[in-house]
Amino acid sequence: MAILTSVKKLPQRTCIVCRGKNPKETMIRLASVEGEVKLDLEARLDGRGIYICSSKGCRLTELDAGKLSYSLKTTVTKDNTASITEQLRTSFKE
């Protein structure tokens, strides 16, 4: 009789900046909640979400409002994009 071992696959997510695939636990989630983009560090907010790598290069990159609007299927303003970018820069001190 063969012994079967099950290996649980970790959910993979794609970074919207570098397009790299990484485990969900290592990514930073942005969520669209009531038309506003919010940083979702605990991945608990309702709404459509997108992911960014936790690497310094992806976190510090200026986010594109058009790319966010397309991915979140909502209108994202440049002010909202600037706010999210600033939150990403200040939330993770290295």
Q: Is residue 7 part of a domain?
A: no
Whether 33 maps to a domain, the answer reads yes
Amino acid at 65: A
CATH number, domain with residue 33: 3.30.1230.10
- Rounded to whole angstroms, the Cα distance separating 21 from 14 reads 4
Does a structural domain hold residue 19? yes
Structural domain boundaries, residue 72: 12-91
Query: What pLDDT is attached to residue 91?
Result: 82
- Asked whether residue 1 is domain-assigned, the answer is no
For residue 40, being part of any structural domain is answered with: yes
Residue 3 belongs to some domain of the structure: no
Question: pTM of the prediction?
Answer: 0.83
pLDDT at 8: 81
Number of domains in the chain: 1
Q: Is residue 57 a part of any domain in this protein?
A: yes
82 touches 65 (CB < 8 A): no
Q: What is the pLDDT of residues 20-61, one digit of tens each?
A: 999 999 999 999 998 889 999 888 999 999 999 988 888 888
Amino acid at the residue 31: A
Work out the pLDDT band at 7, boundaries 50, 70, 90: confident
Residue at 22 is within a domain? yes
Provide the pLDDT for residue 2.
Answer: 67
69-92 residue pLDDT tens: 999 999 999 999 999 989 888 887
Whole-number average pLDDT of the chain? 89
The strand ranges marked E within the chain are 12-14, 21-23, 27-33, 36-40, 49-53
DSSP state at residue 54: S
User: Rounded to the nearest 5 degrees, what angle is found at the Cα of 81, between the Cα atoms of 79 and 87?
Assistant: 105
> ∠ CA(54), CA(77), CA(90), 5° rounding?
35
